[in-house]
């Protein structure tokens, strides 16, 4: 599985906050069926065994629908479940070291906020980059804000796909038009909605219009 521009349209980052009575794998499957083109499993509190168990359940879904599946930060979990790759931030292992650990065939995503970070990530083996936060986000209150012009400069400075993240929803997504991004990564814009299927369908359509 590879991370290309088409897989960036609607990039789902999981979060248990809005699960309610649903099982994580059931929620993810509903959203993938509705149009998510990429899934990142993000867990900050789970122990290793539980993380691996959930990861294997999600991988079955993404394999069935043939979309990329990466683990946030945790290389050990990614390798244990045979995920398609990992996504790391600037405070985690650098892209070069991560690439060494996961091998050349796994997907490597890297979070960046500057042109310099983006270019370095590509040089060190990243397959795609995530840029944010492009808007204020309730999910990560300490996230650095990336202005539109910086986002545009980052997109122009690399040849790998770029996905925007941070506070993106159906009301502000079109403000990213002409930035050069290949899609959007979302959390609450889908997961906090009462109808996640409808939300995913609407966001996918908007994203495709935005990147044209």
Per annotation, catalytic residue among 111, 179, 188, 207: 111
| Per annotation, catalytic residue among 42, 59, 99, 106 | 42
Within 8 A by CB and 6+ apart from 71, the residues are 40, 41, 55, 77, 78, 81, 83, 85, 86, 87
Catalytic annotation, pick one of 33, 140, 193, 208: 140
* 147 preceded by a cis bond (ω within 30 of 0): no
d(CA 172, CA 104): 36
**44 included as an active-site residue:** no
Active site residue 42: yes
From residue 2, alpha-carbon distances to 106, 170, 171 in Å are: 8, 27, 30
> Any catalytic annotation for residue 188?
no
Q: Would you name the residues annotated as active-site residues?
A: 42, 111, 140
């Amino acid at each position: 599985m590879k991370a290309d521009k088409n897989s960036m349209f609607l990039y789902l980052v999981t979060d248990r906050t809005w699960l309610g009575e649903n099982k994580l794998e059931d929620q993810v499957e509903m959203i993938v069926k509705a149009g998510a083109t990429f899934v990142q499993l993000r867990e900050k509190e789970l122990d290793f065994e539980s993380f691996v168990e959930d990861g294997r359940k999600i991988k079955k879904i993404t394999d069935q629908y043939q979309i990329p599946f990466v683990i946030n930060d945790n290389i050990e979990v990614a390798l244990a479940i045979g995920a398609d790759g990992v996504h790391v931030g600037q405070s985690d292992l650098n892209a070069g070291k991560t690439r060494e650990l996961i091998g050349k065939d796994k997907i490597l995503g890297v979070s960046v906020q500057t042109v310099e970070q983006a270019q370095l990530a590509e040089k060190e083996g990243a397959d795609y980059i995530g840029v944010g936060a492009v808007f204020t986000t309730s999910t990560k209150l300490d996230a650095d804000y990336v202005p539109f012009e910086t986002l545009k400069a980052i997109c122009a400075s690399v040849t790998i796909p770029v996905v925007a993240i941070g506070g993106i929803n159906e009301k502000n997504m079109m403000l990213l038009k002409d930035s050069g991004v290949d899609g959007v990564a979302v959390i609450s814009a889908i997961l906090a909605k009462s109808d996640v299927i409808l939300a995913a369908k609407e966001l996918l359509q908007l994203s495709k219009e935005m990147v044209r």
